[in-house]
Amino acid sequence: MALIELFLTFLKIGAFTFGGGYAMIAMIQAEAERHGWLTQEELVDFVALSESTPGPLAVNMATFVGIRTGGVFGAAIATIGIVLPSFIIILIVAKYFEAYKNSKAVGGIMAGLKPAVVGMIGAAVISVARTVFFPAGINAAVFTSAGFWVFLGLFAVTAVMAFRKVHPIVIILLSAVIGIGAGYGLGL
């Protein structure tokens, strides 16, 4: 039963995500929370690991969540779920490509979807920010802890690097080293 749920959830994610892996995070997060599959921290860690390993972010994420929920078989089920909608839709589009390419309806739908994707990635930014800076909820004590300021500083530095087009893997490795240094240094 849990495996069917896993399959159907990733089928849904595969069928309704436009605009690449990042747009998918808000959806995976909501589903993982609803089914109790992962904690918010684990999800953010999986995003980092998916970024640092080859292959599509979506497939990596599906494999992670699947293996946690139902072992290697669960991973296979989740991956098939996320791949299947794309696969079927592309087969249809490839067959009727000329009609598809010139369709005004597709253009109209996309004009509505693009801003929606921006909004969804914005929502992912908000929830990941909460997980990073306020893991125990927002309260005054957070602002007096050294850890908060260290991670805020680290976020600022990595953001500058990201916008300067430094490779994500370099950014992730550097932040891991700083995290270890800060953790032991501050005795977090």
Between residue 122 and residue 181, which ones bind another protein under the rule CB under 8 A? 122-129, 131-132, 147, 151-152, 154-155, 158-159, 161-163, 168-169, 171-172, 174-180
Single-letter residue type at 120? M
Among 57, 69, 70, 77, binds another protein (CB under 8 A): 57
Among 3, 21, 35, 142, binds another protein (CB under 8 A): 21
Q: Reduce the DSSP state of residue 164 to 3 states and report it.
A: coil
The CA distance from 148 to 184, in Å, is 15
Burial class (CB within 10 angstroms; exposed 0-12, middle 13-18, buried 19+) of 19: middle
Q: Least distance (Å) from another protein to the CB of residue 144?
A: 18
Q: Give the distance between the most distant pair of CA atoms in the chain.
A: 62
Residue 116 CB contacts under 8 Å (≥ 6 apart), including other chains: 18
The CA distance from 188 to 186, in Å, is 5
Among 6, 38, 77, 182, binds another protein (CB under 8 A): 182
DSSP 137: -
Stretch that binds another protein, among 1-9, 10-18, 137-145 (CB under 8 A): 10-18
Give the footprint of another protein on residues 68-97 (CB under 8 A): 68, 72, 75-76, 79, 82-83, 85-87, 89-91, 93-94, 97
Among 17, 37, 69, 70, binds another protein (CB under 8 A): 17
